[in-house]
Chains A and B, each alone.
Chain A
Amino acid sequence: MTTETASRPQAAEGPSATALLTVKNLSVRFPTRTKGFFAKPAGYVSAVDHVSFEIARGETLGLVGESGSGKTTLGLAVLRGVEPTAGTVELAAGGGTLAVTSLDKQALRRSRHHMQMIFQDPYASLNPRMTVRDIVSEPLIAGAGDWGRLSRRQIDDRVLDIAVKCGLSKDQLKRFPHAFSGGQRQRIAIARALVLNPALVVCDEPISSLDVSIQAQILNLLADLQESLGLTYLFIAHDLAAVAYVCNRVAVMYLGKIVEVGTTRQVYYKPKHPYTEALMSAVPEPDPDAPRRPILLTGERPDPANPPSGCRFRTRCIYATALCAERVPPLRDLADGHMVACHHADQLKLRGALDFAGSERQEATDDRF
């Protein structure tokens, strides 16, 4: 059981000079339209609001937040799956720097082999009318890129190679997606994303639609592939506990803004933003003896089309003061790359994952069987 207990790859913690992905001031706004022939935008929803972060090569950055936080939109905007309204995305790939946000349509298509995506719902993200082989080989055939024109034989070899790496058998390649369970479908989706050998993979909640017993398989597969292929992940999730297993660093989003970034340990053990603390306290610990946690978050998420003034979290924050309503807190570096957007980060004594966790888990003792 050496692979199961092996530690996950430890990349350099904290942002470094060898950033693979650099995102600066990225914003995505969606117009809220009124219906009609001469419709004009009635207003805008800032799904992502001036977000900046870096991901080092070989690192996994977790992006956590609740629904409506803009985390999926941010992931798509990085790949230009949705068009950002402002900001820049740069990818250090192909021996140079790729200015993703200024590529034209053709150049963007060619750049796809550097950056790929794994979707949340493996039932929706695979075309039911194509065989597994066709699905996995599509990026090879469709995008010109570095792979150029491969012969059918070369394509088959490459598809089989990556499929086997993702835990699929040769026999399964000629089947259609409907013959597979959720976990196997997600393996197909992973194979498709990795067939071009991309540098960056955006994983959009890749395990949240899977059964508990399958989630672990996929998490471990992603970790193995990262190690063997040298991948860099932007790992979007709402499950804080799962994120902790795969991420070197974690960014917490609330209403379109990053409120805290740091190494997994910094964010989980010594959170500096009240929202991070509240999120952590809300995760039910699978231990009946764990202390009942206080409810730190009351009320509901404000309408993103009409966010509160100042700090966007202040309406639900138990520590909010008058200052929070007046000024937008900037994302500032506290120490060692632990960044937080809170006016009171220095004074607050917040509780982390260990303060909320229960007693030690019962270690597996298989000798009882």
Chain B
Amino acid sequence: MSLLESLAPSRFLFRRKRYRPDLASQWQLMWWKFRRHKMAMVGMALLGVFLAMTLFAETISPYPPGQRNPSYVAGPPMLPRMIDETGAVHLRPFVYGSKAVRDMVTLRMTHQADISQKWPIRFFVRGTPYRLFGIIPTDIHLFGTDEGFVHLFGTDFTGLDLFSRTVHATRASLGVALVGVTVSFILGAAIGGIAGYFGGWIDNFIMRLIEFIRSIPTLPLWLALAALMPRDWGPLATYLAITTILALLGWTWLARTVRSKLLATRHEDFVLAARLSGCSDARIIRRHLLPSFLSYLIVDASIAFPEILLAETSLSFLGLGLREPVESWGVLLFAAQSIRAIDQAPWLMIPGVFVIIAVLAFNFVGDGLRDAADPYSKS
């Protein structure tokens, strides 16, 4: 079956005016093929949500991540409702109020829903002022309450709103992963490119180096490198250092892909044809080699993303990565590792759900990209 046919969803669509595969570039064909991968589209949508969370963290979260609520310490998640205890339907969602109750067995103070109080949730309410994108001063939040408070994911032992913190943590977690992947990408493409293009002993040397790096057990290495970091470094320096550590170890995978794709495409007839047409080496690389494996690199990057994300989470969880007051999912989970937390505030593990969702989303997208990466394959 030819390419056109494999892409055409049906005869009807095939004849539709906008569907012109004969005029479609590589990226358009990839998009058409990608679009047919349902899970990848779901992953794509989830990544869109995460992106929005990083861009609009202050707007989405009802409170600043550092703002305590002394009257709701270690409070459980508050569930927004549309139907009240009598079965009446409310057009505006609300949360029940909260009252402190002493548990007569453990003698600890716990929070319980107070059904006599209903706090309606309002959208685009005014709250703590902040600067959107660090520039535009505003005080609009996506949602909030006029009276009382709302803590969707509950609060921690110091009374910080977990929802707001999780949303803010997306920024650091994905940021580290993004920077890590970018640095790995550049390193991998450059080193793999050198190995594949020059070949010979250079190739041999780089391949052995990669094998050596990959043979080092990663966790102890991270621990060692992270332990080398001075404790008195500020959050930003730690952030950069962690990113660099992850990137320095992550490039090998990409370098291998670049090298093998380069070796494979270098012997394609169309590359030889370009050479016999009088193309210079630079032009062959730019016009023929690079475009034909760039899509594979993007696939690899999308698969490397969750690895670096998980690495950051693991390091921070172990207390060796990012630290308070920087918020990342790993940092938030670090707070959830005590028996006390699991017993008294299990909702502190909610950031872990975000980690799982993000990793799955990247894997779905990576899967879809892998299928779409070679739109010229016949299947």
Contact = CB atoms under 8 A, between A and B. Distances in A.
B220 interface: no
Contact of B269 (A119, A130, A138, A143): A119
A179 B4 contact: yes
Interface stretch (B19-27, B72-80, B166-174): B19-27
A156 B180 CA distance: 45
B135 interface: no
Interface stretch (B37-45, B153-161, B280-288): B280-288
Nearest to B291: A129
Interface in A36-60: 37
Interface in A94-145: 109-110, 112-113, 116-117, 119, 121, 124-130, 138-139, 142-145
A274 to B, nearest CB: 34
Given A176-B25, A178-B22, A81 B272 contact: yes
A179 B22 contact: yes
Interface in B9-28: 21-26
Contact of A176 (B24, B277, B280, B291): B24
A112 B277 contact: yes
A188 to B, nearest CB: 11
B278 A144 contact: yes
B278 A142 contact: yes
Interface in A220-265: none
B123 interface: no
Nearest to B3: A178
Nearest to B376: A128
Given A129-B26, A174-B23, A176-B22, A81 B276 contact: yes
B275 interface: yes
Interface string B167-187: 000000000000000000000
B133 interface: no
Contact of A127 (B204, B283, B288): B288
Instruction: Kindly name the residue among A109, A110, A129, A189 whose own CB sees the greatest number of chain B CB atoms within 10 A.
Output: A129
A109 B281 CA distance: 10
A142 B269 CA distance: 17
B21 A179 contact: yes
A157 B218 CA distance: 59
A327 interface: no
B274 interface: yes
A181 to B, nearest CB: 9
B273 interface: yes
A117 B26 CA distance: 26
Interface in B273-330: 273-280, 283, 287-288, 291-292
A192 interface: yes
A125 B272 CA distance: 8
B273 A143 contact: no
Please name the 6 residue pairs, one residue from A and one from B, whose CB atoms are nearest each other, closest first: A143-B278, A179-B22, A112-B278, A139-B277, A124-B269, A142-B279
